[in-house]
Every structure is written in structure tokens, then in C-alpha cells.
Amino acid sequence: MTILHEVAAKKIVPLLRGVLVHELYSRGFSQRKIAYLLGVTQPQVYKYLSKPIDEYYHKALELRLDTDRLKYYVKLLADTLAQDSSEKYVLLVNSIVQELTLAYLCREHKEMRELCRTGRISDPYLEYYRERVERIVSRYRIESLVPEVGINIVYTPVKPRSPVDVIGLTGRIIKAGNRALIVGEPMYGGSRHLSRVLIMAAKYNNRRRVAMNTAYVRRVESLKRIYRVEYCGPHSSINEFWESLEKVLTRSPDIVADLGGYGLEPVVYILANSFEDLENALKHIASDRD
């Protein structure tokens, strides 16, 4: 019988901790400080550092884990520790360990299918996010709004300073037949791209707490009757996208119609102060869908 916590303790935690120790050390943290932050001994930190970081990533590949996602998770954890936010670190590391453990088990062990379907870490903000996203998917015909990249929705209970403050799906909302399907679990830092959009929006309007991307709405011009709509793009590169998006966000729009560009699909970003505001916007955007 496969036990979730045994797999986490033997395979996932040592791997995650090893990469995190290397990340903190590369940022200038002393071995003593790292030991204090992670609740381990200094000799243990030395032992983690004695192995090249490539060995940890090689092990991740052996477990068939996504190394890019692992790097992203480690950066989130290091950022959280750098902010001296111990409570958020505990929530985040537990969420990440569960995510990586289930990713491994759901591929390797058939008997874990039910846990893979229902397993979750309980946190009031995560549960609130989960309920609101499930409500949106069940109440509104957003399957007609799903772009090729899928939909994500992000939420922050406070003005965000970094992705660790922003909850998003580890996967996406996709179109499956004639309905929308939620893939992945809510997690702090769950969406790199959309989290950054919300953080940037909140920089110029500190009431912004929710963001969502949808397929491009051709008649978005008509939404100007109700919302502040701005256009962005097309872009020749991802760097140009972020530069032009920030210029647009200085005007505090409710909706950004992004025309896409090289390697970027045209999409619409909805920026809201609450989930209620997001739902109101969805009613108008869905009715305007071509």
C-alpha cells in the first residue's frame, strides 16, 4: 500500500529541500541562517550543498517531475523566506509538497486515483478561491471564452507584492467538449503569467484583487459603455508585451484587450476588485462573444 506521507518524506521533501538550500545559498544566505529558516541542522545544510544542484534536477527527471515548475516553486519558497513570512512559507511548502507528491503518485500508482481526484490542503483563502472558481465555471458558459492557452483566474486577499501572495490554478480551465473543465489545484503562486498581470495592475490600482484571462472578444469596443477598456499590442516579443501592458495599466483599466503578437495569442484580461465584480463583467463579455 502506498502512503502519501512516506513518499513525500522519502522522495519529494529531500529533493525540494536540496534545491531550496542551493537557491538560498546562491542569494547570500549563510548556512547557519538557512538551517534556522528551514528548521534543520547546519551539518544537514552542508550535506545538501555538498551535492551539485544538477544531481537534484537529475533526480527530479527520474521521478518525471517538471523541472521548470520545480524551479518556479523553489523561487516562490525562497522569496517567501526572504520576506520573513514563516506562516505563508508553511502553507506554501505544504501545498507544493502535496502537488509534487501527487504528480508523482498519480502517474506511478493506480490505487492513488481517488486521492489524486480529491486530495487538497485546507486553507481558508484557498477554499474561498476554489468555491468562487467552481461557481464561475458552473454558472456561466465560459467554455465559449476559453482561449488556446486556457483560462486562469487569480485572486489575492491583500495587495500583492510577489506571486506568493496570489492564488491561482496550477493548471488551467480548459474546454472539454461542450463544457469548461477545471484542471489543477488552487495554490499560492499557481499562475506565473496572470499573477504578474494582477501584481502590475494592483501597483496602479490598489483595489485590484482578481484577474482572469479569456479568449479575445472582437466586439470589445461595445464594452466601453460600461467599463474602462484599453488596448495593448500587437507585440514583437514577450519583453515588449510586459512593457506595453504596464503602460496601459497605469490608466487603471477594467479590461485590457491584448492583440497578441509573436508567440502570443490575442486575449482579454479582466481586472476586478472582487469576484462579484468579475462575475458582473463576465455576464457582459460572454454576451459579446463572437
User: Domain 124-287 carries which CATH code?
Assistant: 3.40.225.10
**Residue with C-alpha cell 455576464?**
283
Task: Give the pLDDT score at 113.
Answer: 53
Task: Give the pLDDT score at 83.
Answer: 83
pTM tops 0.85, yes or no: no
* Contacting residues for 168 by C-beta, under 8 A, at least 6 apart: 152, 153, 154, 155, 186, 187, 189, 190, 191, 194, 195
Q: Which residues of the chain have pLDDT under 50?
A: 1-2, 121, 288-290
Which residues are registered as beta bridge partners of 183? Answer: 172
Residue 279, Cβ neighbours under 10 Å: how many? 16
Task: Give the pLDDT score at 5.
Answer: 64
Q: Which of 94, 113, 124 is nearest to 5 (CA)?
A: 94
What residue spans in the chain does CATH classification 3.40.225.10 cover? 124-287
Q: Where are the beta strands (DSSP E) in the chain?
A: 153-155, 167-169, 172-176, 179-183, 186-188, 210-215, 229-232, 255-258, 267-272
